[in-house]
Structure 1
C-alpha cells in the first residue's frame, strides 16, 4: 500500500512558503535565483483564500482554483513519467480508463523559472570516453514542454510554481487530444489532486473545441462522437510518477521467447556499428527471506486491483483470471507472485488512474474488445503500471465465438442468453489473456500449430496441456473437438499453458551471481535451447496476411494441419447451423437480431477457417534461431501439402456452400444478401491465394530449391483455373454464386496483368534478413497471360455446349473480359 497522504488545511500564506517578493529567503543559496513580483499570486496568498497542501514525492498546494507544485532541489533532474488516463467521458466519445500519451519529463531550474523538459529517454548508451559522451550529447537535446515562473520558495529553496495551465489547456502536451482540439481554459478546471511517496495525481476536466476532427477520435480506443465537430468535455487524470531511484537489473530480450521490451542504442562503436540493446518488459519481482516449501515469498507481489465499477457477480471470475497466472510464477520460484485485491475501502485518494496502481477495469462501452496496456521504465524494461481494460460488450464477442465454435458441445450455449456461470468463465479467460499482456507477453501465434490435431482431440491431453500451449494465442475455443471426443467443457476454453509457464520461468526466475545482463546470457541461452526438443516452447507473433508460416495464424486451432483441422471445424459449423434458429428463439415477441448476428458470425467463422488453409499454399515453416543452432530458420512446405490445400479450397471454399444457405433462416433476415455474404468471403480467400506476395515467394522457391521441393506457380495457376471453371468441361449450368466467384477471379487476373500505376511496387534490390520482397507483378505476368489464353480457348468450346442462357451469357462476358485485359492498347 502507498503511504497515506499528508494533508493540511490552513488560511494562507502557506506555512513555510516564501513569496519571491520577500526580501529574505529560507536558505543561503536562494539568492541564486532572481525574484519575481507576482501581484496576482500575492492576492491569492491572503488570509482569506483557503489553501490545501498534500505532501508526497513533492508537495502540491491548491489555493482557490489554482494548483502549485513545490519542487525541492533533490527532485531537479530526476526522471518522471506522466501517464494520461481518460477518467470520464460523454457516452461513447471515449472509453474511461484508456491510456493516452505518456511523457517522460524532468524538472530543471533556470534562473527564476522552472522548466518542465522532455526527458524522452533517447535510448542512448555510450562508453565513458569523453568523445563518445560528447557525441551522444549532440542528439540528446530535448524539448521544453513548459516554462513556469517561480512564484515562491519553500524550505531549501524548493521552487513553488503554478501548474494550473498545464492541466487546463495551456500546454499542448498535457491535453489528451493534443493539436486535434483546443482546450478552453474558461470551461476547464482542476477537479482534485493527490500526493503519494512516488507520484502525484491531478484530475482535470477539460473542455475541447475541435480542430478538424472528432474530439474523441484522437484518443486511443475512442469510437468517435455522434457529432464530430461538436465541442465536448472530458475528464483526465495525469499521474506524475517518479522512475525508481534504484533501477531494476534488466534482462536481455531474445527474439525466440516472447516479451515486449524497450530498446536502447549503443554508440560506443565497440562492434564498429551502432548496436541496439533490448530488454524485456517485466515487473520487479524479488524474493524475500520467507519461503513456502521450495518457493520464495516475494517482497512485493504483482498486485492487480478490481475496478469498483465491476458488477459484483463477475468480480470472482475476474479475480480468477488474474490469479490463474500464479501457477506460472511458481515455475519461476515465487509463491503467489501475482494476486488480485479490492481497492482500499478507506482511502479517498485511491485512484485506478494512478501510475503506480495496476487495475482491471470494467468499462461501459459497446466496443467488443479488451486490451492490456502497460507502462515500462525505458532504462530497464521494468513494468511500472498496467491497466487491463475490459469493455462490457466483450461478453457479446465471446458469446458469439463460443456459440459458433463449440456451442454444439455445450448445452448451456444452446439457448440464449448464456448462464452467468458460463459467461463468467469466458470473462475469466479474457481477463487472464489481457493480464498476460501486462505481464510482458505479446501474442504467440506459433503455439496453435505445435500440437498434432489428434492431440487437440484427446481428452487426457487437453486436460493437462490445453488445446494450445499458451493463453497468449488467438486459439479461442477448441473447434476441432468432436462430440465423440468427450472433452470436458472447461477444457474447451484456453488456459495458462506450458508455454506460459516456460515464458514466465525464462523472464522472471532470478539468476544468482549474475551481476549484469550479459552475465545472464549463458543461463538464458540454455533455457532457450529447450525449444529445440520441446516444440510447444517456441514463439512467433507473425499472424499477418503476408506471413509465410502457415503455423503462425490468428484465430486458429490445430493449424499443424490446417486442412484436417478445418475439415473437423466445418463439420462442427454444420452442427451449429442446425441449431442456430432454436438457440436464438429464446423469447417470444423478440426480434430476429440474435439470429442475424450469430448467422453472420457463423459465416465469418467459415471464412476464417478457409483462410487458415490458404496460408499453406506457398508457405514456409519457421523456427526462430540464433547463431550456433543447427538447421535453417525457414524451409518450404511440402508440395503435396500445398496441392492438398488448394484442392480443399476448391471443394469447400469455392464450391457453393449450400448448407449455409438455409432459406428458413435467410428469409427471416433479409430479402436478399446471401450472394454478397458468401461471395465476399470467397473473394477474400481467392485474393489471398493469388496475392502478389505469395506468387513472388513461390517464384523465388522455384529459383532456389530443387524441383521436388516446390509447387510451381504455373501448376498452382493451372490447378486453380481448372477447379474454378470445372463447369465448362461438362456444360453444366453455372449458379449465381459460382458466376460471382469466376468474375472475381477474372478481376484479380486483370489487376495483375494491367496493374494501376500507383499499385506497381518499385523493382529494386532488397537487403538484409526479412527485407520486403518486391510485390510488383512483372515476374509472373507472363504466366498469368498464358493462363488467360488457355481459359479463353476453353471458354470458346464451352459456349457451344452450354444450353443454360445465363451461363452462356456469363461465359461470353468472360471472353470479353479476357480480350480486354490482354489487349495492350487498353
Structure 2
C-alpha cells in the first residue's frame, strides 16, 4: 500500500511537470510558427507593388505606375549591359541661356550600367575616356585608375515571381536634383541665382518603355532670384527628357577620324598601345550601313543597305510644308549612291494609329523631324551615338515654326537687288519651300555626322557666282554644310542665277569617305591607307577642302566666293539698292512700320557681315590640314598685298560715315533716338576685332616666319591715319566719326594698360602710335574748323594724356 501510494505521488509530481513542459513546448512552437508566418507576411511580394491600380508599360524594362509611384522591373540579364543615358531639354522658359539654348538641346550623354550589390541596385556611369584591351595586364590598372562613379543606389523592393527580375522604385531618382541629369549646369545656377529645386512643384510627367529604350519626361521647378523670364515669379520651370537606350552588343567597326574631312567624332585614350605613350584614338560618328549583298557591293554595283536611314515627319507638320521637308531628306539618297548604296536614306509620313498603334516618335527605333510651334528662329540636327564606336543610333531633327521668317528676310535683303521675286514680304511659296528644303538638308547633314565646313564657300571664284550656267550646276558653295545661304554676289541683269544653296560635290566626297565599305579591311587601322589615298587624290582641289578655323579668312560663316574684298563690294552694291527701296517693299505695302523696322535692323546686320568678311583678312592665317607626305605648309599668313587691300576697303566701306545707311525716311519712322550709338556699335565690332590682343600677337608671330608680312605696326598705323584722316585737312568731323575716333583712343588705352601686353610689342606699338596721334591732334586743333570739332580734338588730347600718364 505504501509502495502504491509512493508511486501515485511520483506520478502526480511527474506528469504535471511533463505536461507543463509539453504545453510550454507546444506554446513555443506555436509562437515560432506565428513569428514565421508574420515574418513571411512582412516580406514584400510582387503583388504588393503591382496591384489592380497599377498600369504597366511593356518594353526594355517593365515600367509600373501606381498612383504616380514609378517602378522599374529590371531583368537580371540586363545587369552589366551598357546603356546610353541622354539628358535633353524638351521645353524651356523664354530667354534661357540668353537665347542660345533651344528645346531639344542635349545637356549630357553618359554610358550607364545597372549592377547588383548586396541588397542594392547601383546605377553606375561608365567612362570610355580611357580604355585597354581586357586581355592585357594593363586593363587592371586602367580599371583601378578609372573607378566608375555611382549615380544612384536603389533599394531592391522585391523580385518578380520567377526571380528573373528585380523591382526598384525610381520615383525619387527622377524627382531629385541630381546634377548628372539636371537641365541646369552650375553656370546657369549662378547666373539666375537658383536657390533650390522645389520638390512640391517638380514631378514625373511620364515614363514610357519601348523595345530598345525608356523615355522619361520630368518637370523641374527651381526657386531662382533672377530667372530669365517671368521675373516676378522667382521661378524657372524646365521640362526634361531622359532617354535610356540599350547599346548594341554587336559593335560596329569604327572608322578612324581624319581632320582633313569633316566629321563629328568620339575619342578615347587607349593604353593598349605598343607606343611609348598612351594613344588617343578618335573615330567618326556615322550610321551603320551594311549592304544586303556584299559581293555585289564589292563589284561596284549599287546595293540597298540592310537597315536604311529613315526619318518620320511629325504629324503636326503643316500640310503645305510636308513635301519640302521630305525632299530635304530624300535629296541625300543620291549622295549615298556615291558611296555605293541605293535607297540608303528616305523620309516617310508616320503611320496612322490603325496602321501601327504602337508607333511613337519617342521610340529610339524611329528617327524623326519634329515641327515645333515656337517663335524661335532656328533648326537643329542632333543625333545620339554610341561612345564606344561612333555609331549613330537615332536622330530627331527639329524645325522651329518661325525659322522661315529669317529666311524670307535674308532672301529680300541679300538677293532683292538682282532677284525681283525676293522684293516682297510674301515670298512665293515654291521659293520658301526650296529654302526650307535646303535647311532640312543641312540639318540632315549634321545628323549624318557632318559638321559645318566653312571653307567650302571659298572654293568658287567670285565671278562664277554671277553665271547662271555655273550656279545652276554647282550651287553657290561646294557643300550644303557651309553657312552660304544666298547668292548675294549676282548683280542686277545677271540671268538664270541660282540664289538659294544646294547640295554640292563636297557632300558626295565626304559621304563616300565616311560610309563606303572598304573590302578586306577587318580593323579601323587597316582602312587608313585607303582613306588617305581618297583624300590625297583630291588634296589640291579647293572643292574638297575642309576647314573652319576662326583665324582663317577663307573659312568664314555666311561668306561666298574666293575673294572677300570683291565679294563684299558686290554685296554692298546690292545692299545699297535694297536700302533705297526698303520702304516701298515693306511699309508702303503693309501700311505699318513693323516689318520696315525689323528689316532695317537686319540690313545693318548684313552690312556688318560683309564688312566682317573683309576684316578677317587682316592678321588672318590660312589653315590647310595635311599630313607630312603632302606638299606645302599647314599654316600660311594672308599676303601683305591682300591685307593692305582689305584695310583700304574697310576705311571706305566701314569707318567712313556710310550716309546710305542713315536714311531719314527710315530712321524717323522706326525709332526716336539711338541712331549714332547703333552705328558706332557696328563700327566698334570691326575696330575691336582688329585691335584685339590675340590678332596682334598672331601678326607679331607672322613676322618671325616672314619679315615681309603685314605687321602689327603697319596695321595700327594704317588704322590711325585712316580713322583720323580729317586731321590732315581743314575739315569738320561729323558725329559718327567723332564717336569712332574716341572709341579708337579708348581701345588703344585698354591695350596699353593691359597687364597681359606689358611684355609684348603690343604695348610698344600702341604707345608709339598714341604719341604720334597726340602730335597729329595738337597740330589739327588750331585749324579753322567748327567749334564741336575743336572741342572734340581737345577732348581726344586729354584722353591720350591720361592714358600715357595715368595718375
Matched, 1:243 2:257: no
Aligned mates of 2:202, 2:646 — CA distance in 1? 60
* Corresponding residue of 2:492: 483
Closer/same/farther in 2, CA of residues 76 and 36 from structure 1, 3 Å limit: farther
Q: Give the 5 Å matches for 1:3-402.
A: 37=42, 43-45=48-50, 49-87=52-90, 96-126=103-133, 128-155=135-162, 157-169=164-176, 173-174=180-181, 176-177=183-184, 190-204=204-218, 206-210=219-223, 214=227, 224-227=228-231, 229-231=233-235, 235-289=239-293, 294-346=301-353, 347-402=356-411
Residue 777 of structure 2, aligned match among 778, 795, 814: 795
Check whether the contact 1:84–1:100 (CA below 8 A) recurs between aligned residues: yes
CA-CA distance at 1:228 after TM superposition: 7.1
SS in 1 for 2:595: helix
Change (3 A) 1:301 1:23: farther
Q: Which segment drifts farther, 193-202 or 256-265?
A: 193-202
Counterpart for residue 581 of structure 1: 583
CA distance in 2, matches of 1:636, 1:207: 51
1:411–1:213 CA distance, 2 compared to 1 (3 A): same
Q: Deviation at 1:675? A: 1.2
Partner of 1:747: 746
Bigger CA drift: 523-532 or 91-100? 91-100
Counterpart contact for 1:416–1:586, Cα < 8 Å: no
What's 1:668 paired with? Answer: 669
The structure 2 residue matched to 1:540, chosen from 532, 547, 558, is: 547
DSSP-derived class of the 2:597 partner: helix
Structure 2 counterpart SS, 1:389: strand
- CA pair 621-512 structure 1, distance change in 2 beyond 3 A: same
Q: CA deviation at 1:63?
A: 3.9
Q: Which runs of 5+ in 2 are unaligned?
A: 1-34
3-state DSSP of counterpart to 1:800 = coil
Contact 1:83 1:239 in 2 (8 A): yes
Distance 1:640 1:176, change over 3 A: closer
Matched residues in 2 for 1:252 and 1:619: separation? Answer: 30
Work out the CA distance in 2 between the residues paired with 1:67 and 1:564: 64
Structure 1 contact 61–67 (Cα < 8 Å) conserved? yes
Residue 35 to residue 413, structure 1, CA distance change in 2 (3 Å): farther
Cα drift, residue 230 of structure 1: 4.0
Residues 1:731 and 2:736 are matched in the alignment? no
| Distance in 2, Cα, partners of 1:818 & 1:685 | 22
Q: Secondary structure, in 3 states, of the residue corresponding to 2:493?
A: helix
**Does residue 572 of the first structure (1) align with residue 574 of the second (2)?**
yes
Q: CA deviation at 1:357?
A: 2.7
1: CA distance between counterparts of 2:93 and 2:735?
A: 47
- How do 1:608-627 residues align onto structure 2 when only pairs under 5 Å count? 608-627=609-628
Offset at residue 820 of structure 1 (A): 1.7
Alignment check: 8 A CA contact 2:777 2:793 kept: yes
Structure 1 Cα separation of the partners of residues 164 and 624 of structure 2: 60
| Distance change in 2, residues 1:322/1:154 (3 Å) | farther
Shift of residue 97, structure 1, vs aligned partner = 4.0
Shift of the 688–200 alpha-carbon distance from structure 1 to 2, 3 Å rule, reads: closer
1-structure distance, mates of 2:586, 2:438: 24
1:618–1:642 CA contact under 8 A, matched in 2 = yes
What is the alpha-carbon distance in structure 2 between the residues aligned to residue 789 and residue 209 of structure 1? 55
Moved more, 520-529 or 303-312: 303-312
For residues 85-132 of structure 1, the C-alpha deviation after alignment (integer angstroms, 9 at most, x for no partner) is: 445667787965444433421111123322222223344234632144
| CA deviation after TM superposition for structure 1 residue 65, in Å | 3.2
Where in structure 2 are the equivalents of 1:329-728 lying within 5 Å? 329-346=336-353, 347-488=356-497, 491-542=498-549, 544=550, 547=551, 549-558=552-561, 560-585=562-587, 587-589=589-591, 591-707=592-708, 710-728=709-727
Residue matched to 2:11: none
Shift in CA distance, 780/169, structure 1 to aligned 2, threshold 3 Å: closer
Cα distance in 2, alignment partners of residues 382 and 730 from structure 1: 67
CA–CA separation in structure 1 for the residues paired with 2:178 and 2:726: 68
Check 1:608–1:101 CA distance in 2 against 1; reply closer, same or farther (3 A cut): same
User: 1:436: Cα distance to partner?
Assistant: 1.0
Secondary structure of 1:296's partner? coil
Range moving further from structure 2, 93-102 or 687-696: 93-102
User: For the Cα contact (< 8 Å) 1:452–1:561, is it kept in 2?
Assistant: yes
In the superposition, relative to structure 1, how do residues 587 and 36 fare at CA in structure 2: closer, same or farther (>3 Å)?
farther
Alpha carbons 2:442, 2:480 under 8 Å: kept: yes
Q: d(CA) in 2 for partners of 1:129 and 1:393?
A: 55
Q: Say whether the 8 Å CA contact 2:130–2:142 is kept in structure 1.
A: no
Alpha-carbon contact 2:72-2:169 (below 8 Å) kept:
yes
Task: Considering fraction of residues, name the structure with more helix.
Answer: 2
Show the counterpart of 2:26.
none
Contact 1:724-1:742 at 8 Å conserved across structures: yes
Question: What SS does the aligned partner of 1:474 have?
Answer: coil
Size of the alignment, in residue pairs?
756
Distance 1:170 1:659, change over 3 A: closer
Structure 1 CA distance for aligned equivalents of residues 259 and 342 of structure 2: 28
Q: Which moved more, 1:169-178 or 1:718-727?
A: 169-178
Q: Which moved more, 1:229-238 or 1:274-283?
A: 229-238
Cα distance in 1 for residues equivalent to 2:448 and 2:36: 54
For the residues of structure 2 that align with 1:536 and 1:797, how far apart are their CA atoms? 53
Q: Distance in 2 between matches of 1:715 and 1:594?
A: 43
Distance 1:801 1:289, change over 3 A: same
Structure 2 distance, partners of 1:184, 1:36, is: 37
Provide structure 1 residue ranges, at least 5 long, that are not aligned to the other structure: 1-21, 25-33, 215-223, 762-774
- 1:783 paired residue among 765, 784, 804: 765
Partner of 2:12: none
Q: Highest CA radius of gyration, 1 or 2?
A: 2
CA pair 472-36 structure 1, distance change in 2 beyond 3 A: farther
Distance change in 2, residues 1:175/1:788 (3 Å): closer
Once structures 1 and 2 are overlaid, which stretch shifts more, 239-248 or 190-199? 190-199
**Structure 1 residue matching 2:54: 3-state secondary structure:** strand
Encode CA deviations 1:217-254: one digit per residue, 9 max, x unaligned: xxxxxxx4323754566554433210011011100000
Deviations 1:50-95 (A, max 9, x none): 3344433333333443333222222110011123444566778796
Q: Distance in 2 between matches of 1:614 and 1:209?
A: 44
